[in-house]
Structure formats: structure tokens, C-alpha cells
Amino acid sequence: MSLSRRELLKSAVGTSTLFALAPTVPAFLQRAAVAAAATQRRDTVLVVLQLSGGNDGLNTVVPHADDAYGRARRTLRLTQREVHKINDDLGFHPQMSGFARLLSEGRLAIVQGIGYPQSNRNHPVAMRNWHTAHPNDENCPTGWLGRAIDQLAPPGAMTVPGVFVAPIQQTLAVRAERAVVPTIREAQDGVLRGPAGTAAGIHADRLLAAAEVERMDQKNPLLHAARSSTRAAAIASRRIASVVADAGSTGNYPPLQLAQSLRTVSQLIRADVGIRIFFTELGGGGIGGFDNHANQRDNHAALLKQLSESVAAFADDLGRDRQLERVVLMTFSEFGRTLTENGRRGTGHGDSQPVFLVGGRLRGGLVGKHPSLTRLDQDAPKFHTDFRRVYATMLDAWLGVDSRPVLGAQYPPLDLFTA
Amino acid sequence: MPTTPLTPAQVAPPTSDSSSDPAWAWAPYQPSGKRPWTRALAGHLLRRAGFGATWAELEQAVADGPRRTVDRLVRPDADLADFNRSHDDYESSAAAGGSADALRAWWLRRMIKSPQPLLEKMTLFWHDHFAVSAARVPIARLMWEHVRQLRAHALGHFPALMAHVLQDPAVLLALGAASNRKARPNEHLARQLLQRYTLGAGQFSDRDVRETARALTGKFVLRGQLRHFEREHDAGVKTILGQSGAFNGRDVLHVALEHPATARHIVRRLFRWFVSETEEAGDDMLAPLAEAYAKDYDTGRLVETILRSNFFYSADAYRRRVKRPVEFALGIIRALEGNVPTLRLANELAALGENLYYPPTTKGWAAGQHWINPALIIARNNLALALVGGQAPYGKKLNPVQVAQSHGRQDAAAAGRFLVDLLLPGDAASDVPRIAQQESAGGGNLPTSLRKLTHRLTTLPEFQLA
């Protein structure tokens, strides 16, 4: 969450409070100004949204025109009349009008047929595979985003490149070897709270002032780190507080858990405190989430409605002032589901899935073919594009993080972004 | 009695003393006119050897001097066996409940209440060293037994601890080594044993790893029990670290313990744990400790040597560690002589990056500078406020004014100075007396102003350091 130096400069120039702290401030502002001229960093943001339980891609992006679909899904089948049209063959689930609109606006891409060889259909193993990006290495200790975060936060850098914004335990995806990834449930968690009767801003100023006082042991690098972190914390806190306080910046979010998490993400993006990676989640709070082995229809519809409405609100919010141009939201689930409906009006664990991307600089629309419904692997549509190609594209082409050390190999990128 | 903040020179000797001569560095520190025993050094010792001090503990340490204080830390008068027995019972019931979350809470309570905080500090050291996570050991009873054994051997002999570790189902499960088949030896377990648990990185070859893995075959974990299947043990000859034989797990351990790198590795980790996270002590500096440790691997005596040493009380050690989140929170709680619901606290500490029973990777916690970044400073500030602010969720469990008054500081100025001496004994920077005066002389309600002062002291940069 540290300010990049450029941002620090920007904030300082824009805020009279910082100048009010003279004469202690100018020294570090001067240092920042020099450094800022030297670094013009890309501050793109990746928001990863986990759909827990194994989303039924076939009832999300519905191949309604395919007879194999209609035959296999006696009760769960969605018809052409019900879905939101994508093209002649495909349509979004009826509850996903938000996604349909984003698609028509060119702000949503559907990357089809995503998976990996010898995929696993056991929840924890499959989830671990998506988290580590090292399928079937049960001893991989870190997550792909955690490794990216470690790369973005070299030792000694007072930065917070990634945060976890969800009401569940942190997932393996963000586990880093070195960096501690904070969990932020609401933007207020990013604000320095002062005692009752002390305004948060005044409290932040006091911390800033304390950080500027020369402390005892000037040769101690840890004391230096504590001082500069405190300084950056005070400034970041101010910026988050001002976003939170600005009623006009809260967006128009429905009263749904995911929407609240995404609003927090949006506030932190808008506060511009240097966070590049966000991880959030849908489905893990309730029973089973997307794992609908029985009576799938209503539960799945409710989750897709939550997904569609929350993400649409997020895109609209960030789209107002062109913030969406530096943001990509990406969904994933641990697997898709079987084509054939079981005897309990549900579906089993499957293989490939569509990955959704939402952002302001995407080539929108369908990417890749819809997997065949006749050449199946144990009743599930086969993958044709490895999920690590999507990851590699997000790392290399979007975040500017070298994907090779993160993924252990070079995966060919996908053409997902506008120039 | 008002105390004046000490200058660095008063706190510690010049750095050149410690960084040059290993013999001097590890010789016992004898207070002298040039290097007096101070409140700052007493606070330093009690932070490092435990989880911070109460006023009475601090006063006693100042009065007793380093030798008697370390005596008491290593061999407490209080009935430790009784304390540990009762907490074993609590934890045993918690483990029967099936979740490691309650175990976290009981451990925090031990750290707050134990008559021998050093034992818990060392148990935490070994937890970090072996880095077994409940995320991979889904049986709470196994995690409890694992940590209980770490505690039993924490200040004992390293070979006995290692012998247990190689038979510990939790260790095998955490390393994905629940079935070590002859046809498929587990190199992850072997590598962890050599690289993390004993020799350290760069001291062995890939071949040593493969051969060690062969020696460890036959070990299985079935339904939470360790089993040994002779038919799955590779009884052939292995060559490990230059020695050959039909080795089994016990033999591998023997070979590893005979290798001089093992003592150096543990000593280096303990140096980082107790002395400094900024100095990379060289082999020469650590040689006296490593050579002594290699003789009988008596961890308690090694720790005692470190805690008595000149280096430990030097400027190269003072405030040269970042407080772990546990040290940060417990330092506040112990100083204010209160008790808080530790179930909740365990979650708050997890959010600060230290989730007890769940080290992030098999390399433990990265620690040092990684404990502090701007977001974590904000989280520490907010946790400190929750603890001392007098409001929900922790309410008035911690009450600075009550602590100050119970130690005879009735008026605002005296109580303010007391809190500074308690929380930043002997080393507050130049702005601190002003802060103390500002907050405690603010008029109005004394309990409230002392809460504010306490919070501000806990957010100062130096308070983040141990």
C-alpha cells in the first residue's frame, strides 16, 4: 500500500496538510521528487475473483443451440428464449444481464475452454492447482499471486503490492514466501484509527510527525524501515480516508457480499496507494457455493446474479472516471461441471471452464471456441487452452511482472488487450 | 522518580567491541562504569527472552542485574510443571474439539501467563524452524502433540528433538510424506530434513537428498498414526555426506548431527532469533557457540550463553529485531497486566501476518523487515487501539491508569512518565517526553488521556522493534 514515489509527490503537492508539517517534510519530499522523475511506473491493477465450489460453465455461458446440451440437461436446461444472447449459439444465464451489458459495451471477455492436462476433480486438489499454478505438485508452498507479490516487493521496499479482500481465510493463491499480504475487509481497515475524540487525520499527522523525528539509533536499518513505513502508512491512510469520506465515490453497489468486497477494492484502487493485486471471492461464505450436486437451479441462479450485478456495479463505478482503464478483473473456479445432469437436478465435478475478464482495455467478446459437447472427458467438456496462458498474459502483458519465475515456464500469451 | 532518556552510548558500548572479537562477544557481560546495567538493557533482555515485561519484572531485573535475571529466566522459581500440566489439559480438550483455532488461543494464553516465558519463546522458535502448518495437518490432536513435543524439548537436547520430529506424524503430513515407499522415496522430506532442520542450504548435494530419501523409506502415516513397514524400507547401502552404510532414519540423523554445519545452522538461526536481524554474523563470530553446541547439542545452555553475552547487550543487538506480531501485542498486554480474549487476538495476529500453528510456508515466517510495511503499520496501530482504547471489542480489559496508580503514580505527570518507562524503558526519542506531557497534561479525564498516551507510544517506530 505504499505510495510509489510519484504518487507520494502527487499527494504531497495536492495536500496542504503535508506542507503544514514543514519544516520536517521538505527533506523527504525533495528526495521523492528526484526519485519520481526517474520512475514512471505502470500502475495497472489485477483483481482476481475466485468462484468457490466449481462453477457450471455450461449454465453460465449456455450453448443453448447444441442438442447435446438440451438432451443432457433435463431440468437444468436453459433455452434460447431465457438466455441473454451472446451469439446465435451461446447466451448468458438469465440472471446475468449485467454481464450481457458489459459484453455489449466491449468491457467483458469470455475466454473459453480453460483448463489443464490431467486435471483433478477433487475440490482441495483442484483449487490448490489453480492457486499454485503448479498442478499436482502438492508441496508447492506458495501461490502464483504470492510469487508475483514477492517479485513486486523486493526486500526493503516499503510497498504493499497485494491485498486480500474477502470474508474468508486467505487462500494459497496469495501466499508469498516473504511478503505478508494484508487482509482488508473494508476500506476503513486501511485507515489509521485514532482514539475516541481524535480525528483520524490528526492522528495520522502525529504518526507522520513522529516518523520525521530523528530516533535514537540512526544506523539501525530496521528503525529506518519502521520510520519510512510509518510515514507511508500515514499518507496512505489519509488518501484512503478521503476516498471513504467522499460519498460520491462509493459507487452504486447492490447489498450483496461480493459487491461490498468489490466496493472496497474500488476504494483502494481509487486511493491510489500502490496496490497492484487484489484477491476476492464468491461462494465460500455459504454452504457449497458453486458446488451444486443437487437442486442446482436456484442456488446457481442466485450466485450468478450476485456475480453479474456486483461486477457490473464495479465496472460502472470505475468506469465513471476512467479508472477501469487500468483495471482487469479475472474470474476462476477450481473446475467446471459435467455436461449431464445427475438424478438430483445437479451436476458433477468437471473439467474446463470459461474465464471471465472485465476491464477498460480489453478486446471484448468471445476468445477461443466453446468446447465440444460430443468429445468429452468423463462427461465434461475438454479444455483447449491452459490456464497458465491466461495467468502469463495477466503477469507479462498486464502487470508487467515476469511470468517465468512465477509460473516456472514461459507460456504463450493470449491476445486479450487493446493496444 | 523521573528518568531521563538514555543516549545510545549509555545503552550500549561502541559497535567495534562486538563485531571484531568472538571471544569477547560471547563472554558474559559484566556491568561496569563504561557499560552500566540499565533499565534499557533490562527491557531488552525481557523482550528477547520473553514477550515483554510487567513493571514489577522490569524493576526486579534492574535491581538484580543481568546474571540473576538470566538465572531466573532459565530456571524459574515458580511451579512450572503445574502450570504446564493444567494448560496441557486445556489444550487436550481443545484439540479433541478438532480445530487448531482454539489451540492458537491457548498458546497465546501460555505466552501471557507462563512462569517461564523463555520456554514459550523457544517453543515458538522451533515452531518457526520446523514450520509445520495445520493447513496441511487436518488433525488438531497431531498439531497439539507436535507443539507439545517442541515445548518438551525446547530448551533440551537437539538430537532428542530431532529423533521425535522424524517420528512425528504431523511433520510427515505437513511435508506431503505420508507414504515413503521404497519405489518412490520422498525427496521433499529428505530435503527439508537436510536444508531446514539440520545442515542448512548449500551443505549437501542432490545425491545426498536422494540417498537420504531412500533411508527414510518405510515410514507411513495411517489414520494419524506413524507406522513403519519393513517391506517398504530400502535396506540397501546409501552414501550420505560422505558416509556409507545401510542407513535408516536414525542413522541419517546421526550423520547429519555429526556434520559441523548442523550446529552452525542452528546457532545462526538462534542468533537471528535472539540477537540481531540486521547483522549477518560470520562463521568466525559464531564459531565459539557452534563448537560448544556441537559437543552435546544442549540448546538450553546455548540460549543461556547468548542471553548472558557481551554481544547480546551491545549496540549491534539493541532494537535490532522487528517485533513479531505476537511480541507486539503481548508486549502491550503483559505491560498493562491485563488479560484479553485470546481467541479473538489469534485472528488479529493472523491478519498481521503471524498465524500461530499456520506458518506460511515450510520455510517458516520470513520475519525481520517483512513484518512491517505501510499496511501492517496501519493494522498494528488499529490493533493497539482496539487493545488499549477502552472500547469494543476488548473493552476495558487493559487499563493504563489502574496500572500506573497501582504502582504509586497518582497524578497525571507521574503516570505519564511511568507509562513511557514501562513501554519504552530507557530509550524513548526526543519527542516522547513531549508526547507524554501533551497527552497526560491534556486536562480532563485521566483514564482517557492515559489510554491515548499508551496508544501513541505503541505506534512509535521504536516500539515496533524488539
Among A81-85, A259-263, B97-101, B387-391, the minimum mean pLDDT is found in B97-101
* Chain A residues touching B427 at Cβ < 8 A: 216
ipTM: 0.92
B429 Cβ under 8 Å from any chain A Cβ: yes
| Rounded Cα gap, residues B252 and B381, in angstroms | 47
* pLDDT tens-digit series, residues B207-238: 999 999 999 999 999 999 999 999 999 999 99
Instruction: Kindly report the number of other CB atoms within 10 A of residue B156's CB atom.
Output: 15
| Rounded Cα gap, residues B166 and B91, in angstroms | 23
pLDDT top residue among A40 and A247: A247
A155 Cβ under 8 Å from any chain B Cβ: yes
Task: Indicate yes or no: CB of A222 within 8 angstroms of CB of B465.
Answer: yes
Task: Indicate yes or no: CB of B381 within 8 angstroms of CB of A193.
Answer: yes
Q: Please, which residues 193-212 of chain A have a Cβ atom closer than 8 Å to chain B?
A: 193-198, 206-207, 209-211
Cis preceding linkage at B36, omega within 30:
no
Q: What Rg do the C-alpha atoms of chain B give, in angstroms?
A: 23
Closest by alpha carbon to B218, among B255, B178, B171?
Answer: B178
What band does B1 get if pLDDT is binned at 50, 70 and 90?
Answer: very low
Give the DSSP per-residue string, B109-174. Answer: HHHHH-S-HHHHHHHHHHHHHH---TTT---HHHHHHHHHHHHHHTTSBHHHHHHHHTT-HHHHHH
Using DSSP's 3-state secondary structure scheme, residue A162 falls into strand
Three-state SS string over A283-332 comes to: CCCCCCCCCCCCCHHHHHHHHHHHHHHHHHHHHHHHHCCCHHHHEEEEEE
Task: Indicate yes or no: CB of B373 within 8 angstroms of CB of A229.
Answer: yes
* pLDDT tens-digit series, residues A250-295: 789 999 999 999 999 999 999 999 999 999 999 986 567 999 999 9
Task: Indicate yes or no: CB of B378 within 8 angstroms of CB of A225.
Answer: no
pLDDT of residue A217: 78
pLDDT of residue B443: 65
Question: Does position A2 have pLDDT exceeding 90, yes or no?
Answer: no
Task: Indicate yes or no: CB of B373 within 8 angstroms of CB of A226.
Answer: no
Terminal Cα-to-Cα distance of chain B (whole angstroms): 25
Sorted by sequence, the CB contacts under 8 Å of residue A70 that are 6+ apart come out as A64, A77
* Mean pLDDT over the full length of chain B: 93
| Rounded Cα gap, residues A333 and A57, in angstroms | 9
Question: Does position B321 have pLDDT exceeding 60, yes or no?
Answer: yes
pLDDT of residue B59: 98
Instruction: Kindly report the number of other CB atoms within 10 A of residue A202's CB atom.
Output: 11
Average pLDDT over residues B319-343: 97
When CB atoms are compared, the residue of B277, B363, B378 closest to A222 is B277
Average pLDDT over residues B204-209: 98
Cβ atoms of B48 and B307 within 8 Å: the answer is: yes
| Burial (Cβ within 10 Å: 0-12, 13-18, ≥19) of residue A13 | exposed
Q: Scanning every residue of chain B, which has its alpha carbon at the shortest distance from the alpha carbon of A156?
A: B369
| Rounded Cα gap, residues B426 and A335, in angstroms | 59
Residue A316 corresponds to which amino acid? Answer: D
Average pLDDT over residues B84-89: 95
Task: Indicate yes or no: CB of B373 within 8 angstroms of CB of A160.
Answer: yes
Average pLDDT over residues B163-183: 97
pLDDT of residue B442: 64
* Chain A residues touching B456 at Cβ < 8 A: 206, 210
Q: What Rg do the C-alpha atoms of chain A give, in angstroms?
A: 23
When CB atoms are compared, the residue of B363, B375, B430 closest to A190 is B375
Interface test with B, best of A191, A215, A218, A276 (most B CBs within 10 A): A215
User: How many A-B residue pairs are in contact by the CB < 8 A criterion?
Assistant: 160
Assigned C-alpha cell, A20: 503544514
* pLDDT tens-digit series, residues B17-37: 545 799 999 999 999 999 999
Calculate how close chain B gets to A328, using CA atoms only, in Å: 23
Q: Please, which residues 132-191 of chain B have a Cβ atom closer than 8 Å to chain A?
A: 175-176, 188
Please state the separation of Cα B444 from the chain's center in Å: 40
Q: The cell 531485573 sits on which residue? A: B61
Q: Would you give the DSSP letter of residue B7?
A: P
Strand B225-228 versus strand B219-222 pairing type = antiparallel
B445 Cβ under 8 Å from any chain A Cβ: no
* Chain A residues touching B185 at Cβ < 8 A: none
pLDDT of residue B426: 87
Average pLDDT over residues A173-179: 95
Residues facing residue A377 across a β-bridge:
A380
pLDDT of residue A18: 32
Task: Indicate yes or no: CB of A227 within 8 angstroms of CB of B391.
Answer: no
Strand A353-359 versus strand A108-115 pairing type = antiparallel
Calculate how close chain A gets to B294, using CA atoms only, in Å: 30
B375 Cβ under 8 Å from any chain A Cβ: yes
Question: Does position A20 have pLDDT exceeding 80, yes or no?
Answer: no
Using DSSP's 3-state secondary structure scheme, residue A274 falls into coil
Calculate how close chain B gets to A219, using CA atoms only, in Å: 10
Sign of CA dihedral B217, B221, B225, B230: negative
* Chain B residues touching A216 at Cβ < 8 A: 7-8, 11, 319, 427, 429, 462
Interface test with A, best of B355, B378, B450 (most A CBs within 10 A): B378
Cβ atoms of A163 and A180 within 8 Å: the answer is: no
List the Cα angle B267/B272/B276 in 5-degree steps: 130
* pLDDT tens-digit series, residues A107-154: 999 999 999 999 999 999 999 999 999 998 989 999 999 999 999 987
Closest by alpha carbon to A61, among A86, A82, A80?
Answer: A86
